[in-house]
Structure 1
């Protein structure tokens, strides 16, 4: 999927990836790839800055842990993040419905 098509929807996608439970950063990227059957495979350079932005906004919380001697940050949805995810879903459904209506095939010439 082209990156341009994801503009404005990245936050909702990342929140959806975290809906099932806390994940470390790379697992968020992999979960998003898995739940979209590989159609959305974001570069890590896109995912991490977005996760940091969502954390600053209070939509996710992060905590550090050490696994196998390596530090990693695990992210989880906050209550505000769950609310925001619901809003993102509603907005997406409205947007998708409008685009579907605009792009559907119509008979030509247009009939009244």
Structure 2
């Protein structure tokens, strides 16, 4: 069970959203299935890497289940690729000055 409140709220929003399949227009499909999540400055200290890892795993499971369908047949979970893009905080920001530089070593 996810314990990080901001990340759990993101999961609730995304897992309840339908998955659009459009074999004729991949761009339409991609745009309609795209989500973006950004923590506020107050939420940022509450979120840890393990929370994001758990969020991604739970989201993949929820979206895969949505692709199986509701016809009652026993079906194998659909393969699901979840592209994740992480955008770094700008090098010189007020938050960096308060917290110090990020380490690239784990």
TM-score by length of 1: 0.27
TM-score by length of 2: 0.28
User: Normalized per residue, which structure has more helix?
Assistant: 1
